[in-house]
Protein backbone atom coordinates (compact mmCIF):
# COMPACT_ATOMS: atom_id res chain seq x y z
CA UNK A 1 0.00 0.00 0.00
CA UNK A 2 1.16 3.45 -0.71
CA UNK A 3 0.11 6.47 1.31
CA UNK A 4 -0.74 4.75 4.59
CA UNK A 5 -3.96 6.19 5.78
CA UNK A 6 -2.40 8.13 8.69
CA UNK A 7 0.22 9.76 6.42
CA UNK A 8 -2.37 10.94 3.93
CA UNK A 9 -5.40 13.00 4.84
CA UNK A 10 -7.06 10.47 7.09
CA UNK A 11 -10.44 12.13 7.24
CA UNK A 12 -10.82 11.88 3.48
CA UNK A 13 -11.00 8.10 3.79
CA UNK A 14 -13.46 7.97 6.65
CA UNK A 15 -16.81 8.52 4.96
CA UNK A 16 -16.10 5.93 2.29
CA UNK A 17 -15.13 3.17 4.68
CA UNK A 18 -17.79 4.20 7.18
CA UNK A 19 -20.37 3.98 4.42
CA UNK A 20 -19.21 0.46 3.51
CA UNK A 21 -19.46 -0.62 7.15
CA UNK A 22 -22.96 0.82 7.38
CA UNK A 23 -24.01 -1.08 4.25
CA UNK A 24 -22.51 -4.28 5.63
CA UNK A 25 -24.33 -3.78 8.95
CA UNK A 26 -27.59 -3.49 6.98
CA UNK A 27 -26.78 -6.76 5.20
CA UNK A 28 -26.14 -8.41 8.58
CA UNK A 29 -29.54 -7.21 9.80
CA UNK A 30 -31.26 -8.59 6.68
CA UNK A 31 -29.56 -11.95 7.28
CA UNK A 32 -30.65 -12.37 10.90
CA UNK A 33 -28.25 -10.00 12.64
CA UNK A 34 -25.15 -10.73 14.66
CA UNK A 35 -21.56 -9.64 14.93
CA UNK A 36 -18.85 -9.70 12.24
CA UNK A 37 -15.23 -10.47 13.14
CA UNK A 38 -12.58 -9.85 10.48
CA UNK A 39 -8.80 -9.80 11.02
CA UNK A 40 -6.29 -8.38 8.62
CA UNK A 41 -3.57 -10.54 7.03
CA UNK A 42 -0.64 -11.69 9.19
CA UNK A 43 2.91 -10.62 8.45
CA UNK A 44 4.94 -13.30 6.67
CA UNK A 45 8.55 -14.25 7.27
CA UNK A 46 10.65 -14.35 4.11
CA UNK A 47 13.69 -15.83 5.81
CA UNK A 48 15.52 -15.33 9.10
CA UNK A 49 14.19 -12.06 10.57
CA UNK A 50 13.28 -10.54 7.20
CA UNK A 51 9.59 -10.18 6.37
CA UNK A 52 7.85 -10.08 3.02
CA UNK A 53 6.58 -6.57 2.21
CA UNK A 54 3.35 -6.29 4.14
CA UNK A 55 0.01 -6.37 2.33
CA UNK A 56 -3.21 -6.04 4.35
CA UNK A 57 -6.15 -8.37 3.75
CA UNK A 58 -8.21 -6.96 0.88
CA UNK A 59 -11.61 -7.12 2.58
CA UNK A 60 -10.21 -5.65 5.78
CA UNK A 61 -8.73 -2.83 3.73
CA UNK A 62 -12.06 -2.37 1.96
CA UNK A 63 -13.86 -1.94 5.28
CA UNK A 64 -11.31 0.15 7.16
CA UNK A 65 -8.67 1.68 4.86
CA UNK A 66 -6.20 0.61 7.57
CA UNK A 67 -3.03 -1.10 6.41
CA UNK A 68 -1.12 -1.98 9.58
CA UNK A 69 -0.71 -5.64 10.55
CA UNK A 70 -2.18 -7.12 13.77
CA UNK A 71 -5.53 -5.41 13.38
CA UNK A 72 -9.11 -6.66 13.72
CA UNK A 73 -12.51 -5.23 12.94
CA UNK A 74 -15.58 -6.12 14.98
CA UNK A 75 -18.83 -4.81 13.50
CA UNK A 76 -22.31 -5.42 14.87
CA UNK A 77 -25.64 -5.31 13.06
CA UNK A 78 -26.38 -1.89 14.60
CA UNK A 79 -23.33 -0.56 12.75
CA UNK A 80 -21.11 -0.20 15.83
CA UNK A 81 -17.49 -0.73 14.83
CA UNK A 82 -14.52 -1.59 17.01
CA UNK A 83 -10.92 -1.67 15.80
CA UNK A 84 -8.23 -3.64 17.59
CA UNK A 85 -4.73 -2.48 16.63
CA UNK A 86 -1.12 -2.34 17.74
CA UNK A 87 -0.41 0.13 20.54
CA UNK A 88 1.97 3.03 20.06
CA UNK A 89 5.45 1.83 21.01
CA UNK A 90 8.37 4.27 21.03
CA UNK A 91 10.97 1.50 20.86
CA UNK A 92 9.32 -0.46 17.98
CA UNK A 93 8.52 2.70 16.06
CA UNK A 94 12.28 3.45 15.89
CA UNK A 95 12.66 0.23 13.90
CA UNK A 96 9.39 -0.19 12.04
CA UNK A 97 7.89 3.28 11.71
CA UNK A 98 4.89 5.06 13.14
CA UNK A 99 1.83 3.22 14.34
CA UNK A 100 -1.61 4.75 14.40
CA UNK A 101 -2.52 3.41 17.86
CA UNK A 102 -5.97 3.06 19.41
CA UNK A 103 -6.20 6.64 20.66
CA UNK A 104 -5.96 8.14 17.17
CA UNK A 105 -7.88 5.39 15.36
CA UNK A 106 -11.47 6.60 15.89
CA UNK A 107 -10.73 10.02 14.39
CA UNK A 108 -8.49 8.68 11.61
CA UNK A 109 -10.67 5.77 10.55
CA UNK A 110 -14.13 6.75 11.72
CA UNK A 111 -14.54 3.65 13.89
CA UNK A 112 -16.65 4.01 17.02
CA UNK A 113 -13.99 2.68 19.35
CA UNK A 114 -10.47 1.22 19.26
CA UNK A 115 -8.43 -0.86 21.67
CA UNK A 116 -5.03 -2.48 21.79
CA UNK A 117 -4.93 -5.80 19.99
CA UNK A 118 -3.98 -7.49 23.28
CA UNK A 119 -7.60 -6.85 24.33
CA UNK A 120 -9.01 -8.82 21.41
CA UNK A 121 -10.22 -11.82 23.41
CA UNK A 122 -11.89 -9.70 26.06
CA UNK A 123 -13.53 -7.46 23.46
CA UNK A 124 -14.80 -10.42 21.47
CA UNK A 125 -16.13 -12.25 24.53
CA UNK A 126 -18.07 -9.16 25.44
CA UNK A 127 -19.42 -8.50 21.95
CA UNK A 128 -20.43 -12.11 21.26
CA UNK A 129 -22.44 -12.49 24.47
CA UNK A 130 -26.13 -12.67 23.46
CA UNK A 131 -25.35 -12.06 19.76
CA UNK A 132 -27.64 -14.25 17.63
CA UNK A 133 -24.85 -15.34 15.28
CA UNK A 134 -21.21 -14.63 14.44
CA UNK A 135 -20.03 -13.73 10.95
CA UNK A 136 -16.43 -14.52 10.03
CA UNK A 137 -14.45 -15.48 6.93
CA UNK A 138 -14.57 -19.24 6.28
CA UNK A 139 -11.70 -20.97 4.50
CA UNK A 140 -8.33 -22.65 4.77
CA UNK A 141 -6.30 -19.44 4.70
CA UNK A 142 -4.51 -17.50 7.44
CA UNK A 143 -7.18 -14.84 7.84
CA UNK A 144 -9.95 -17.42 8.20
CA UNK A 145 -7.89 -19.53 10.61
CA UNK A 146 -7.13 -16.52 12.80
CA UNK A 147 -10.78 -15.49 12.83
CA UNK A 148 -11.98 -19.01 13.63
CA UNK A 149 -9.54 -19.48 16.48
CA UNK A 150 -10.35 -16.12 18.07
CA UNK A 151 -14.09 -16.72 17.75
CA UNK A 152 -13.83 -20.17 19.33
CA UNK A 153 -11.81 -18.77 22.23
CA UNK A 154 -14.49 -16.11 22.69
CA UNK A 155 -17.30 -18.68 22.48
CA UNK A 156 -15.58 -20.61 25.27
CA UNK A 157 -15.42 -17.47 27.39
CA UNK A 158 -19.10 -16.68 26.78
CA UNK A 159 -20.12 -20.25 27.57
CA UNK A 160 -18.23 -20.07 30.86
CA UNK A 161 -20.58 -17.23 31.84
CA UNK A 162 -23.79 -19.00 30.80
CA UNK A 163 -24.89 -19.46 34.42
CA UNK A 164 -24.99 -15.68 34.74
CA UNK A 165 -27.63 -15.70 32.00
CA UNK A 166 -25.67 -14.84 28.85
CA UNK A 167 -26.16 -16.95 25.72
CA UNK A 168 -23.46 -17.68 23.15
CA UNK A 169 -24.34 -17.15 19.47
CA UNK A 170 -26.25 -20.06 17.97
CA UNK A 171 -24.58 -20.03 14.54
CA UNK A 172 -21.35 -19.27 12.77
CA UNK A 173 -21.90 -17.76 9.32
CA UNK A 174 -19.49 -17.23 6.43
CA UNK A 175 -19.09 -13.49 5.93
CA UNK A 176 -17.16 -13.85 2.68
CA UNK A 177 -20.18 -13.93 0.33
CA UNK A 178 -21.42 -10.63 1.78
CA UNK A 179 -18.06 -8.93 1.38
CA UNK A 180 -17.47 -10.49 -2.04
CA UNK A 181 -20.77 -9.15 -3.36
CA UNK A 182 -20.03 -5.68 -2.02
CA UNK A 183 -16.54 -5.67 -3.54
CA UNK A 184 -17.77 -6.93 -6.91
CA UNK A 185 -19.46 -3.65 -7.83
CA UNK A 186 -16.96 -0.81 -7.58
CA UNK A 187 -18.08 2.54 -6.18
CA UNK A 188 -16.97 5.86 -7.70
CA UNK A 189 -13.95 6.08 -5.39
CA UNK A 190 -12.77 2.63 -6.45
CA UNK A 191 -13.40 3.35 -10.13
CA UNK A 192 -11.15 6.42 -9.91
CA UNK A 193 -8.40 4.38 -8.23
CA UNK A 194 -8.68 1.65 -10.86
CA UNK A 195 -8.51 4.18 -13.69
CA UNK A 196 -5.29 5.45 -12.18
CA UNK A 197 -3.89 1.92 -11.73
CA UNK A 198 -4.68 1.32 -15.41
CA UNK A 199 -2.97 4.51 -16.52
CA UNK A 200 0.23 3.76 -14.60
CA UNK A 201 0.41 0.22 -15.94
CA UNK A 202 -0.26 1.38 -19.51
CA UNK A 203 2.62 3.88 -19.24
CA UNK A 204 4.83 1.07 -17.95
CA UNK A 205 4.00 -1.08 -20.99
CA UNK A 206 4.80 1.85 -23.31
CA UNK A 207 8.15 2.26 -21.55
CA UNK A 208 8.98 -1.44 -21.88
CA UNK A 209 8.05 -1.51 -25.58
CA UNK A 210 10.22 1.52 -26.24
CA UNK A 211 13.14 -0.07 -24.40
CA UNK A 212 12.82 -3.35 -26.28
CA UNK A 213 15.40 -4.32 -28.89
CA UNK A 214 17.11 -7.53 -29.93
CA UNK A 215 19.81 -8.54 -27.47
CA UNK A 216 18.13 -7.15 -24.36
CA UNK A 217 16.95 -9.65 -21.78
CA UNK A 218 13.60 -10.36 -20.17
CA UNK A 219 14.71 -9.00 -16.78
CA UNK A 220 15.72 -5.70 -18.37
CA UNK A 221 12.18 -5.12 -19.58
CA UNK A 222 10.90 -6.21 -16.16
CA UNK A 223 13.13 -3.50 -14.66
CA UNK A 224 11.56 -0.92 -16.99
CA UNK A 225 8.13 -1.93 -15.72
CA UNK A 226 9.22 -1.72 -12.09
CA UNK A 227 10.76 1.69 -12.69
CA UNK A 228 7.52 2.97 -14.18
CA UNK A 229 5.37 1.52 -11.37
CA UNK A 230 7.45 2.82 -8.50
CA UNK A 231 8.27 6.19 -9.97
CA UNK A 232 4.53 6.79 -10.41
CA UNK A 233 3.96 5.98 -6.72
CA UNK A 234 2.40 2.53 -7.17
CA UNK A 235 3.18 -0.01 -4.46
CA UNK A 236 4.74 -2.28 -7.10
CA UNK A 237 3.48 -5.04 -9.36
CA UNK A 238 0.02 -6.40 -8.54
CA UNK A 239 1.34 -9.90 -9.39
CA UNK A 240 4.67 -11.23 -10.66
CA UNK A 241 5.32 -9.61 -14.04
CA UNK A 242 5.42 -11.94 -17.01
CA UNK A 243 8.04 -10.95 -19.58
CA UNK A 244 8.22 -13.83 -22.02
CA UNK A 245 10.61 -13.97 -24.96
CA UNK A 246 9.61 -16.08 -27.96
CA UNK A 247 8.44 -19.57 -27.01
CA UNK A 248 8.15 -18.61 -23.32
CA UNK A 249 4.95 -16.80 -24.26
CA UNK A 250 3.32 -20.23 -24.56
CA UNK A 251 3.95 -20.86 -20.83
CA UNK A 252 0.95 -19.15 -19.30
CA UNK A 253 2.47 -18.39 -15.89
CA UNK A 254 6.04 -17.77 -17.04
CA UNK A 255 7.87 -15.19 -14.90
CA UNK A 256 10.46 -12.79 -16.29
CA UNK A 257 13.74 -14.69 -16.59
CA UNK A 258 17.13 -14.04 -18.17
CA UNK A 259 16.41 -15.09 -21.75
CA UNK A 260 17.64 -12.84 -24.51
CA UNK A 261 15.03 -11.17 -26.69
CA UNK A 262 15.77 -12.26 -30.24
CA UNK A 263 15.29 -10.61 -33.60
CA UNK A 264 12.25 -12.06 -35.35
CA UNK A 265 10.54 -13.25 -32.16
CA UNK A 266 7.69 -11.78 -30.16
CA UNK A 267 7.77 -10.61 -26.58
CA UNK A 268 4.69 -11.01 -24.36
CA UNK A 269 4.40 -8.82 -21.27
CA UNK A 270 1.61 -9.41 -18.74
CA UNK A 271 2.08 -6.86 -15.98
CA UNK A 272 0.00 -4.54 -13.83
CA UNK A 273 0.55 -2.41 -10.78
CA UNK A 274 -1.13 -1.94 -7.43
CA UNK A 275 -2.33 1.58 -6.75
CA UNK A 276 -3.85 2.28 -3.32
CA UNK A 277 -4.60 -1.41 -3.03
CA UNK A 278 -6.20 -1.79 -6.49
CA UNK A 279 -4.76 -3.91 -9.29
CA UNK A 280 -4.41 -3.31 -12.99
CA UNK A 281 -3.69 -6.22 -15.33
CA UNK A 282 -2.47 -5.61 -18.90
CA UNK A 283 -0.98 -7.88 -21.54
CA UNK A 284 0.64 -6.73 -24.74
CA UNK A 285 2.53 -8.81 -27.29
CA UNK A 286 4.93 -7.07 -29.65
CA UNK A 287 7.76 -7.87 -32.08
CA UNK A 288 11.22 -7.66 -30.53
CA UNK A 289 12.57 -5.95 -33.66
CA UNK A 290 9.60 -3.59 -33.94
CA UNK A 291 7.94 -5.27 -36.94
CA UNK A 292 5.51 -8.20 -36.98
CA UNK A 293 6.27 -10.99 -39.44
CA UNK A 294 3.41 -12.23 -41.67
CA UNK A 295 2.47 -15.25 -39.53
CA UNK A 296 2.84 -13.24 -36.30
CA UNK A 297 0.64 -10.51 -37.70
CA UNK A 298 -2.00 -12.98 -38.87
CA UNK A 299 -2.33 -14.45 -35.38
CA UNK A 300 -2.05 -11.06 -33.71
CA UNK A 301 -4.88 -9.57 -35.75
CA UNK A 302 -7.00 -12.62 -35.00
CA UNK A 303 -6.51 -12.25 -31.24
CA UNK A 304 -7.22 -8.52 -31.51
CA UNK A 305 -10.44 -9.19 -33.43
CA UNK A 306 -11.44 -11.73 -30.78
CA UNK A 307 -10.76 -9.17 -28.07
CA UNK A 308 -12.87 -6.59 -29.92
CA UNK A 309 -15.76 -9.06 -30.14
CA UNK A 310 -15.41 -9.72 -26.40
CA UNK A 311 -15.35 -5.98 -25.64
CA UNK A 312 -18.60 -5.52 -27.59
CA UNK A 313 -20.16 -8.32 -25.53
CA UNK A 314 -19.21 -6.60 -22.27
CA UNK A 315 -22.18 -4.42 -21.33
CA UNK A 316 -24.95 -4.30 -18.73
CA UNK A 317 -27.36 -7.20 -19.01
CA UNK A 318 -24.90 -9.38 -20.93
CA UNK A 319 -23.56 -12.44 -19.16
CA UNK A 320 -19.97 -12.66 -17.97
CA UNK A 321 -19.31 -15.58 -20.32
CA UNK A 322 -20.79 -13.87 -23.39
CA UNK A 323 -17.40 -12.20 -23.92
CA UNK A 324 -15.66 -15.56 -23.70
CA UNK A 325 -17.92 -17.24 -26.25
CA UNK A 326 -17.68 -14.24 -28.60
CA UNK A 327 -13.87 -14.50 -28.45
CA UNK A 328 -13.93 -18.28 -28.85
CA UNK A 329 -16.07 -18.02 -32.00
CA UNK A 330 -13.73 -15.48 -33.61
CA UNK A 331 -10.64 -17.47 -32.67
CA UNK A 332 -12.06 -20.79 -33.83
CA UNK A 333 -13.11 -19.39 -37.20
CA UNK A 334 -9.67 -17.82 -37.59
CA UNK A 335 -7.88 -21.05 -36.65
CA UNK A 336 -9.91 -22.84 -39.33
CA UNK A 337 -9.12 -20.13 -41.90
CA UNK A 338 -5.40 -20.32 -41.12
CA UNK A 339 -5.49 -24.16 -41.20
CA UNK A 340 -4.28 -24.47 -37.63
CA UNK A 341 -7.51 -26.37 -37.16
CA UNK A 342 -8.49 -28.59 -40.08
CA UNK A 343 -12.14 -28.72 -41.00
CA UNK A 344 -11.75 -32.37 -42.09
CA UNK A 345 -10.74 -33.22 -38.53
CA UNK A 346 -12.85 -30.87 -36.38
CA UNK A 347 -15.82 -30.06 -38.65
CA UNK A 348 -17.56 -26.68 -38.83
CA UNK A 349 -16.91 -23.77 -36.51
CA UNK A 350 -19.93 -24.86 -34.41
CA UNK A 351 -18.62 -28.43 -34.22
CA UNK A 352 -15.16 -27.20 -33.26
CA UNK A 353 -16.61 -25.04 -30.48
CA UNK A 354 -18.87 -27.85 -29.26
CA UNK A 355 -15.88 -30.21 -29.05
CA UNK A 356 -13.61 -27.47 -27.64
CA UNK A 357 -11.11 -28.13 -30.44
CA UNK A 358 -9.85 -24.53 -29.98
CA UNK A 359 -8.50 -25.48 -26.53
CA UNK A 360 -5.37 -26.79 -28.12
CA UNK A 361 -4.48 -23.18 -28.91
CA UNK A 362 -6.69 -21.24 -26.45
CA UNK A 363 -6.89 -22.98 -23.11
CA UNK A 364 -7.80 -20.25 -20.61
CA UNK A 365 -10.83 -18.09 -19.90
CA UNK A 366 -11.33 -14.66 -21.45
CA UNK A 367 -11.43 -12.71 -18.21
CA UNK A 368 -11.82 -12.45 -14.48
CA UNK A 369 -13.08 -9.91 -11.98
CA UNK A 370 -10.48 -7.29 -11.09
CA UNK A 371 -10.23 -5.09 -8.01
CA UNK A 372 -8.31 -5.21 -4.74
CA UNK A 373 -7.21 -8.69 -5.83
CA UNK A 374 -5.98 -9.27 -9.36
CA UNK A 375 -8.31 -12.27 -9.54
CA UNK A 376 -10.94 -10.45 -7.57
CA UNK A 377 -13.77 -11.86 -5.50
CA UNK A 378 -17.39 -12.16 -6.62
CA UNK A 379 -19.72 -14.94 -7.63
CA UNK A 380 -19.38 -15.85 -11.32
CA UNK A 381 -22.86 -17.42 -11.47
CA UNK A 382 -26.32 -15.86 -11.50
CA UNK A 383 -27.77 -18.02 -8.75
CA UNK A 384 -31.25 -16.51 -8.77
CA UNK A 385 -31.76 -17.93 -12.29
CA UNK A 386 -32.45 -21.65 -12.71
CA UNK A 387 -29.66 -24.05 -13.69
CA UNK A 388 -29.44 -24.88 -17.37
CA UNK A 389 -27.38 -27.16 -19.59
CA UNK A 390 -24.40 -25.38 -21.12
CA UNK A 391 -20.91 -26.10 -22.52
CA UNK A 392 -18.37 -26.89 -19.80
CA UNK A 393 -15.57 -25.40 -21.90
CA UNK A 394 -13.81 -28.76 -22.10
CA UNK A 395 -15.89 -30.24 -24.89
CA UNK A 396 -18.65 -31.58 -22.63
CA UNK A 397 -21.89 -30.24 -21.16
CA UNK A 398 -22.74 -29.31 -17.61
CA UNK A 399 -25.90 -28.27 -15.78
CA UNK A 400 -25.38 -25.19 -13.62
CA UNK A 401 -26.65 -21.68 -13.07
CA UNK A 402 -26.01 -19.33 -15.99
CA UNK A 403 -23.03 -17.01 -15.74
CA UNK A 404 -23.38 -13.69 -13.99
CA UNK A 405 -25.21 -10.83 -15.62
CA UNK A 406 -23.03 -7.72 -15.81
CA UNK A 407 -24.06 -4.50 -14.09
CA UNK A 408 -22.41 -1.06 -14.16
CA UNK A 409 -19.50 -0.83 -11.73
CA UNK A 410 -18.19 -4.34 -12.27
CA UNK A 411 -14.57 -4.44 -13.49
CA UNK A 412 -13.21 -7.40 -15.41
CA UNK A 413 -10.35 -8.22 -17.72
CA UNK A 414 -10.75 -9.11 -21.40
CA UNK A 415 -7.80 -11.26 -22.38
CA UNK A 416 -8.03 -13.67 -25.29
CA UNK A 417 -4.88 -15.34 -26.59
CA UNK A 418 -3.43 -18.00 -28.86
CA UNK A 419 -0.51 -20.26 -27.99
CA UNK A 420 0.93 -22.45 -30.71
CA UNK A 421 3.20 -25.29 -29.68
CA UNK A 422 5.07 -27.20 -32.39
CA UNK A 423 3.31 -30.25 -33.82
CA UNK A 424 3.44 -32.17 -37.09
CA UNK A 425 -0.01 -31.02 -38.14
CA UNK A 426 0.66 -27.32 -37.41
CA UNK A 427 2.31 -25.17 -40.13
CA UNK A 428 5.86 -24.48 -39.00
CA UNK A 429 5.55 -20.74 -39.56
CA UNK A 430 3.30 -20.57 -36.48
CA UNK A 431 5.40 -22.70 -34.14
CA UNK A 432 6.20 -21.16 -30.74
CA UNK A 433 4.06 -18.07 -31.30
CA UNK A 434 2.23 -17.03 -28.13
CA UNK A 435 -0.02 -13.98 -28.15
CA UNK A 436 -2.30 -12.51 -25.53
CA UNK A 437 -3.96 -9.11 -25.47
CA UNK A 438 -5.45 -8.00 -22.18
CA UNK A 439 -7.28 -4.86 -21.12
CA UNK A 440 -9.31 -3.93 -18.05
CA UNK A 441 -12.95 -3.01 -18.58
CA UNK A 442 -15.31 -1.11 -16.29
CA UNK A 443 -18.94 -1.90 -17.07
CA UNK A 444 -20.80 1.39 -17.67
CA UNK A 445 -24.51 2.07 -18.23
CA UNK A 446 -23.97 1.86 -22.03
CA UNK A 447 -21.23 -0.71 -22.47
CA UNK A 448 -17.77 -0.68 -21.01
CA UNK A 449 -14.89 1.72 -20.49
CA UNK A 450 -11.41 0.35 -21.15
CA UNK A 451 -9.14 1.55 -18.36
CA UNK A 452 -5.86 0.49 -19.97
CA UNK A 453 -5.84 1.85 -23.50
CA UNK A 454 -3.08 4.42 -22.96
CA UNK A 455 -0.83 1.73 -24.40
CA UNK A 456 -1.41 0.98 -28.09
CA UNK A 457 -2.98 -2.27 -29.12
CA UNK A 458 -3.34 -2.14 -32.93
CA UNK A 459 -0.35 -3.74 -34.68
CA UNK A 460 0.51 -0.60 -36.71
CA UNK A 461 0.33 1.58 -33.61
CA UNK A 462 2.67 -0.74 -31.73
CA UNK A 463 5.08 -0.72 -34.67
CA UNK A 464 4.92 3.08 -34.84
CA UNK A 465 5.60 3.39 -31.11
CA UNK A 466 8.59 1.06 -31.35
CA UNK A 467 9.96 2.94 -34.37
CA UNK A 468 9.64 6.24 -32.50
N1 LIG B 1 -1.99 -11.58 -14.87
C2 LIG B 1 -2.86 -12.54 -14.38
C3 LIG B 1 -3.95 -12.76 -15.32
O4 LIG B 1 -3.93 -12.24 -16.41
O5 LIG B 1 -4.90 -13.41 -15.02
MN1 LIG C 1 -5.80 -11.20 -16.18
MN1 LIG D 1 -2.69 -10.55 -16.92
> Above 50 in pLDDT, residue 3?
no
Task: Read off the pLDDT of each residue in 323-347 and give the average, rounded to a whole number.
Answer: 97
The Å distance, Cα 210 to ligand 2 centre, comes to 23
Residue 2 pLDDT > 90, yes or no? Answer: no
pLDDT of residue 12: 53
Beta carbons of 154 and 124 less than 8 angstroms apart: yes
Taking all residues of the chain, what is their mean pLDDT, rounded to a whole number? 96
| Nearest atom within ligand 1 for CA of residue 436 | 4
User: Please, are residues 213 and 231 in contact by the beta-carbon 8 Å criterion?
Assistant: no
For residue range 371-405, what is the model confidence (pLDDT) as tens digits?
999 999 999 999 999 999 999 989 999 999 999 99
Residue 281 among the catalytic residues: yes
pLDDT at position 67, please?
Answer: 97
Residue 354: active-site member: no
What pairing do the DSSP bridges indicate for beta strands 278-279 and 417-419? Answer: unpaired
Digit-coded pLDDT (tens) for 119-155: 999 999 999 999 999 999 999 999 999 999 999 999 9
Q: Is 436 a catalytic residue?
A: yes
Nearest residue to 242 (alpha-carbon basis) of 271, 215, 266, 216: 271
Dihedrals phi, psi of 197, to nearest 5 degrees: -60, -40
pLDDT score of 211: 98
Quote the ligand 2 centre to 228 CA distance (angstroms): 20
Rounded Cα–Cα distance for residues 126 and 86 (Å): 20
Regarding beta strands 50-51 and 72-76, do their DSSP bridges make them parallel or antiparallel, or are they unpaired? unpaired
Over the stretch 263-288, which tens digit does the pLDDT of each residue have?
A: 999 999 999 999 999 999 999 999 99
84-94 pLDDT tens trace: 999 999 999 99
Per-residue confidence band for 8, with pLDDT thresholds at 50, 70 and 90: very low
pLDDT at 293: 98
Q: Residue 289 to residues 213, 330, 464: CA-CA distances in angstroms? A: 6, 28, 12
Residue 415 designated active-site: yes
Q: Which ligand is nearest to the CA of 441?
A: 2
Q: What is the pLDDT of residue 14?
A: 84
d(CA 272, CA 396) in angstroms, rounded, equals 34
- Pick the catalytic residue from 189, 368, 431, 432: 368
Per-residue pLDDT of 23-79, as tens digits, reads: 999 999 999 999 999 999 999 999 999 999 999 999 999 999 999 999 999 999 999
Atom of ligand 1 nearest to the CA of 238: 1
C-alpha neighbours within 13 Å on the C-beta side of residue 465? 23
The 3-state secondary structure of the chain reads CCCCCCCCCHHHHHHHHHHHHHHHHHHHHHCCCCEEEEECCCCCEEECCEECCCCCCHHHHHHHCCCCCCCEEEEECCCCEEEEECCCCHHHHHHHCCCCHHHHHHHHHCCCEEEEHHHHHHHHHHHHCCCCEEEECCCCCHHHHHHHHHHHHHHHHHHCCHHHCCCCCCEEEECHHHHHHHHHECCHHHHHHHHHHHHHHHHHHHHHHHHCCCCCEHHHHHHHHHHHHHHCCCCEECCCCEEEEHHHHHCCCCCCCCCECCCCCEEEEEECEEECCEECCEEEEEECCCCCCHHHHHHHHHHHHHHHHHHHCCCCCCEHHHHHHHHHHHHHHHHHHCCCCCHHHHCCHHHHHHCCHHHHCCCCCCCCECCCCCCCCCCCECCCCCCEEEECCCCCEEEECCECECCCCEEEEECCEEECCCCCCCCHHHCCCEEECEEEEEECCCCEEECCCCCCCCHHHHHHHHHC
Ligand 1 atom at minimum distance from 239 CA:
1
Task: Please report the atom of ligand 1 found closest to the CA of residue 283.
Answer: 4
CA of 198 to the centre of ligand 1 (A): 14
pLDDT at 5: 37
How far is it, in rounded angstroms, from Cα 370 to Cα 415? 12
Report the distance separating Cα 24 and Cα 182, nearest Å.
8
Catalytic residue among 375, 392, 397, 461: 375
Neighbours of 205 (CB within 10 A): 28
Interval between CA 270 and ligand 1 midpoint (Å): 7
Mean pLDDT across 333-345: 97
Residue 6 pLDDT class (50, 70, 90 cuts): very low
To the query of whether residue 217 is one of the catalytic residues in this protein, the response is: no
| Closest ligand 1 atom number to CA of residue 270 | 1
End-to-end CA distance of the chain: 34
Is 419 assigned a catalytic role?
yes
Query: Rounded to the nearest whole angstrom, what is the distance from the C-alpha of residue 117 to the centroid of ligand 3?
Result: 37
Measuring from each residue's beta carbon to the nearest atom of ligand 1, which residues come in under 6 Å?
Answer: 239, 270, 281, 368, 374, 415, 438
Average pLDDT over residues 219-235: 98
Catalytic position from the list 57, 68, 218, 281: 281
Mean pLDDT across the stretch 414-423? 98
Compute the average pLDDT of residues 227-252.
98
Q: Tell me which of 13-17, 119-123, 175-179 is least confident.
A: 13-17
Distance of alpha carbon 192 from alpha carbon 190, whole angstroms: 5
Q: Angle at CA 371, nearest 5°, toward 205 and 81? A: 145
User: Looking at residue 282, what is its pLDDT?
Assistant: 99
- 77, 270, 322, 439: the catalytic one is 270
Residue ranges of domains in the chain, CATH in brackets: 5-183 (3.40.350.10), 188-467 (3.90.230.10)
362: nearest Cα among 274, 302, 423, 444? 302
Query: Does the active-site annotation cover 248?
Result: no
- What pTM was estimated for this model as a whole? 0.95
Sign of CA dihedral 207, 462, 367, 407: positive
CA dihedral (40, 44, 50, 53) positive or negative = negative
The reply to whether 174 belongs to the active site is no
C-alpha 416 – ligand 2 centre gap (Å): 10
pLDDT over 50 (residue 412): yes
Amino acid sequence: MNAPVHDADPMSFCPIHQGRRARLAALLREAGGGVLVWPTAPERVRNSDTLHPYRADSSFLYLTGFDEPEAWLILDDAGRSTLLCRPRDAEREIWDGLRLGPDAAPRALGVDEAHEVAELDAALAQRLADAPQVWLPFGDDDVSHQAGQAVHRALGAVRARERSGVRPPAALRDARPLLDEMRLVKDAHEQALMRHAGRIAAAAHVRAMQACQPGRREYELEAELLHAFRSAGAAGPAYPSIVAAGAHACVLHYAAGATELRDGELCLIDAGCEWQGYASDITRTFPVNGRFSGPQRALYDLVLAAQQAAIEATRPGARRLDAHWAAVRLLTQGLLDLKLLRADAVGSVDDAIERAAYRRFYMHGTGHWLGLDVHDVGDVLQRDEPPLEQPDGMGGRVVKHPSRRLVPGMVLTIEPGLYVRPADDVPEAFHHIGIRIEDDALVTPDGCELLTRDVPVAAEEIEALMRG
